């Protein structure tokens, strides 16, 4: 598993309707707003009303990061056509990208 | 082509929805595979797919014919393009149909049933017959509508299927004899079947209504991605044709009643189980999704809250205006609705019934009681097959009885869940 920054908890599996498609980590309370801004800047926000308290972003082609503003929960959704044997690796890559993004921003600010 | 939202209508008092003139609902692959398998188990590997193909072609024709009219599509090419893009937008995968005069070929990529079957069972089971009968029926209907051929006159066979480890699905289309036509179950037929009954508010109505509206706002903008797949709440779902589900259910019931009536109780229990499968996987998945956590809140160990949440989910998925009438913790749950998505179909095509007919509602209500009473939501359980077996196959904790049904002439459908 990817080493987290102090702002992101370790990545772990979530049970989903298909094997290894859903993964989870949390971002620290103080970094939720910053992470939201970074994701808006560096990935493709998906259309959702601002009042729903949850934001979805398309990353690395077809995978999705979901961020719950209130709790800092992050769900990484690996696209369903990713071969089962590659899903864990794909989730690791997305998590590493996010970890790097948040960590770099934190160090620079 | 108009956006799907522009072709969408709703009967708000019934919480039933239509795409074009076709009643539509959301279901996930667990339910879809289970229902198809139930039909094939009851009717056998030849007759089962025949019934499912006829239902798919029939329901798809109604959808596509109404969409062509709404779009003013005139040429076969325009019409076929609408048929293909609608199929993908609904989350069924990608179809590329080349047909003329009822003959031709179609290619399917990432088709919902075949892909889902492969994902769920493919590593351990070798499938011996194709899985995408719904796509075959849809393809045949598209060929009919595009070329202006008589309804239910084109046959389609799935020659290769990804569930049988082919790289993609392939279909051949041939002209056939026109099948017996049945009345459409669209907006007008639904209104005629249900009359003008006004729903009576039940318990927790503001909460249930708010949940429904919130979930609808997540569902409203969702379309199939470039592969024709729809993921929402972390669950792969389809927007599907209620008449497909209803026709395969009631035709199977009719055939078993006439050929093996002693088996009817088993068959009805399997159709009820489709409701367990849906509630456990889809409702459970939604309850534990980040969308739920962000937009609605954290789950607590409050069974009544889970019941209300489930009724909100059911309405958002277009299952009907499921209403909480009574809940006694640990003892009893009463849900009623002015209609299910099952009743308008049954009344329009079969008339009145001698037995309650809302199998999905019956099974779903029992499953809602299970989720409310037996699942520790704060522990965030994994909704695995083992856990499903433990909840639903580990002895009877509840029984369900449908005490009122529109198909019996009652003014609503009502189910009661209680201790056995």
- Give me the residues of chain A with pLDDT under 50, please: 1-2
Percent of chain B with pLDDT over 70: 100
Question: Contact, B340 vs B15, CB < 8 A?
Answer: no
Q: Which residue of B has its CA nearest to A56?
A: B291
Comparing CA positions, the residue from B402, B241, B216 lying closest to residue B315 is B216
Mean pLDDT, rounded, of chain B: 95
CATH T-level topology, domain B4-175: Muramoyl-pentapeptide Carboxypeptidase; domain 2 (3.30.1380)
Nearest to B294 among A17, A22, A69 (CB): A69
Q: Is A85 on the interface with B (CB under 8 A)?
A: no
For A65, the enclosing helix (H) or strand (E) is strand A63-68
Q: Quick: pLDDT tens for B378-397.
A: 999 999 999 999 999 888 88
Residues of A numbered 29-48 whose beta carbons fall under 8 angstroms of chain B's beta carbons: which are they? 47-48
Q: Quick: pLDDT tens for B324-344.
A: 999 999 999 999 999 999 999
pLDDT at B291 over 80: yes
Comparing CA positions, the residue from B161, B165, B99 lying closest to residue B134 is B161
Residue B106 has a pLDDT of: 98
Kindly provide the ipTM of the predicted complex, given to two decimals. Answer: 0.93
pLDDT at B271 over 80: yes
Residue A106 has a pLDDT of: 79
Residue A49 has a pLDDT of: 57
Residue A46 has a pLDDT of: 84
Give the mean model confidence (pLDDT) for residues B399-416: 96
Residue A3 has a pLDDT of: 54
Say what angle helices B385-392 and B264-278 make with each other, to 10 degrees: 130
Residue B125 has a pLDDT of: 93
pLDDT at B190 over 90: yes
Q: Strand B8-11 vs strand A44-45: parallel, antiparallel, or unpaired?
A: unpaired
Q: Which residue of A has its CA nearest to B122?
A: A84
Interchain pair A17, B290: CB under 8 A: no
Residue B40, SS3 per DSSP? helix
**B290–chain A nearest CA distance, Å:** 6
Q: Is A71 on the interface with B (CB under 8 A)?
A: yes
**A105–chain B nearest CA distance, Å:** 25
The CA distance from B105 to B99, in Å, is 6
The tokens describing B283, both together, are 């409702």
Q: Is B213 on the interface with A (CB under 8 A)?
A: no
Residue A47 has a pLDDT of: 63
Interchain pair B30, A17: CB under 8 A: yes
**A52–chain B nearest CA distance, Å:** 5
Residue B395 has a pLDDT of: 80
Residue A18 has a pLDDT of: 83
Interchain pair B214, A52: CB under 8 A: yes
| Owner of token pair 């009967």 | B11
The CA distance from B152 to A85, in Å, is 42
Give the mean model confidence (pLDDT) for residues B24-28: 96
Residues of chain A contacting B229 with CB distance shorter than 8 Å:
80-81
Helices and strands in chain A, H and E counts: 2, 6
Winning range, highest mean pLDDT, from A49-58, B96-105, B194-203? B96-105
Interchain pair B294, A62: CB under 8 A: no
The CA distance from B348 to B92, in Å, is 27
Q: Quick: pLDDT tens for B123-148.
A: 899 999 999 999 999 999 999 999 99
The answer to whether the B4-175 and B187-418 domains have the same CATH topology is yes
Residues of chain B contacting A79 with CB distance shorter than 8 Å:
231
Residues of B numbered 100-159 whose beta carbons fall under 8 angstroms of chain A's beta carbons: which are they? 110, 115, 119-120, 123
Cβ contacts of A22 within 8 Å, gap of 6 or more: A13, A14, A15, A16, A75, A76, A77, A78, B234
Q: Is B281 on the interface with A (CB under 8 A)?
A: yes
pLDDT at B346 over 80: yes
pLDDT band at B199 (very low <50, low <70, confident <90, very high): confident
Residue A51 has a pLDDT of: 64
The CA distance from B396 to B96, in Å, is 47
Mutate to test the interface with B, among A13, A49, A59, A80 (most CBs of B within 10 A): A80
Q: Quick: pLDDT tens for B316-326.
A: 999 999 999 99
Nearest to B28 among A17, A62, A77 (CB): A17
Nearest to B231 among A52, A74, A77 (CB): A77
Interchain pair A17, B235: CB under 8 A: yes
pLDDT at B32 over 80: yes
Question: Contact, B370 vs B391, CB < 8 A?
Answer: yes
Mutate to test the interface with A, among B234, B238, B375, B386 (most CBs of A within 10 A): B234
Greater confidence (B398 vs B196) lies with B398
Give the mean model confidence (pLDDT) for residues B257-266: 96
Residue B198, SS3 per DSSP? coil
The CA distance from A17 to B238, in Å, is 14
Q: Which residue of A has its CA nearest to B28?
A: A17
Nearest to A15 among B221, B294, B384 (CB): B384
Any idea where the domains of chain B sit in the sequence?
A: 4-175, 187-418
Residue A75, SS3 per DSSP? strand
CATH number 1.10.10.60 given to B187-418: no
Residue A5 has a pLDDT of: 60
């Amino acid at each position: 598993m990817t080493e987290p920054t102090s702002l992101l908890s370790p990545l772990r599996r979530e049970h989903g309707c298909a094997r290894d498609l859903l993964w989870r980590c949390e971002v620290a309370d103080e970094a939720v707003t910053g992470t939201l801004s970074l994701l808006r800047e560096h990935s493709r926000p998906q259309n959702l009303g601002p009042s729903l308290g949850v934001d979805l972003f398309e990353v690395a082609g077809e995978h999705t990061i979901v961020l719950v503003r209130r709790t800092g929960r992050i769900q990484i959704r690996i696209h369903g056509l990713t071969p089962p044997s590659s899903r864990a690796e794909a989730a690791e890559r997305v998590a590493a990208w996010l970890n790097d993004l948040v960590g770099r921003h934190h160090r620079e600010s | 082509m108009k956006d799907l939202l522009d072709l969408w209508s709703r009967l708000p008092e019934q919480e039933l929805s239509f795409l074009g003139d076709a009643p539509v609902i959301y279901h996930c692959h667990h339910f879809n595979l289970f229902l198809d398998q139930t039909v094939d188990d009851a009717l056998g590997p030849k007759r089962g797919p025949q019934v499912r193909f006829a239902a798919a072609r029939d329901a798809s024709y109604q959808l596509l014919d109404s969409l062509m009219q709404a779009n003013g599509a005139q040429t076969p090419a325009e019409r076929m393009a609408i048929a293909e893009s609608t199929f993908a937008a609904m989350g069924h995968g990608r179809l590329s149909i080349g047909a003329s005069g009822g003959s031709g070929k179609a290619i399917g990529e990432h088709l919902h049933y075949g892909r889902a079957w492969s994902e769920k069972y493919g590593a351990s089971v070798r499938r011996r017959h194709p899985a995408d009968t719904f796509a075959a029926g849809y393809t045949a209907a598209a060929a009919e509508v595009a070329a202006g051929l008589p309804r239910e006159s084109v046959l389609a066979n799935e020659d290769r299927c990804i569930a049988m480890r082919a790289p993609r699905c392939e279909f051949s289309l041939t002209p056939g004899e026109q099948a017996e036509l049945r009345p459409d179950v669209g907006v007008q037929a639904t209104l005629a079947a249900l009359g003008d009954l006004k729903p009576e508010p039940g318990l927790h109505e503001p909460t249930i209504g708010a949940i429904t509206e919130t979930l609808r706002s997540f569902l409203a903008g969702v379309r199939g991605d470039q592969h024709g797949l729809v993921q929402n709440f972390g669950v792969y779902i389809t927007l599907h044709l209620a008449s497909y589900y209803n026709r395969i259910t009631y035709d199977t019931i009719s055939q078993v009643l006439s050929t093996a009536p002693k088996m009817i109780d088993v068959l009805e229990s399997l159709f009820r189980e489709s409701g367990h499968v849906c509630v456990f996987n889809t409702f459970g998945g939604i309850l534990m999704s980040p969308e739920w956590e962000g937009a609605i809140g954290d789950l607590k160990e409050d069974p009544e809250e889970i019941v209300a949440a489930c009724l909100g989910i059911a309405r958002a998925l277009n299952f009907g205006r499921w209403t909480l009438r009574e809940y006694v913790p640990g003892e009893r749950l009463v849900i009623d609705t002015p209609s299910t998505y099952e009743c308008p179909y049954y009344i329009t095509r079969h008339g009145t019934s001698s037995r309650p007919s809302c199998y999905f509602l019956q099974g779903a209500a029992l499953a809602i009681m299970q989720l409310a009473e037996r699942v520790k939501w704060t522990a965030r359980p994994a909704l695995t097959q083992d856990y499903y077996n433990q909840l639903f196959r580990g002895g009877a904790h509840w029984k369900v009885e449908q005490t009122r049904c529109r198909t019996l002439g009652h003014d609503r459908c009502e189910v009661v869940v209680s201790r056995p």
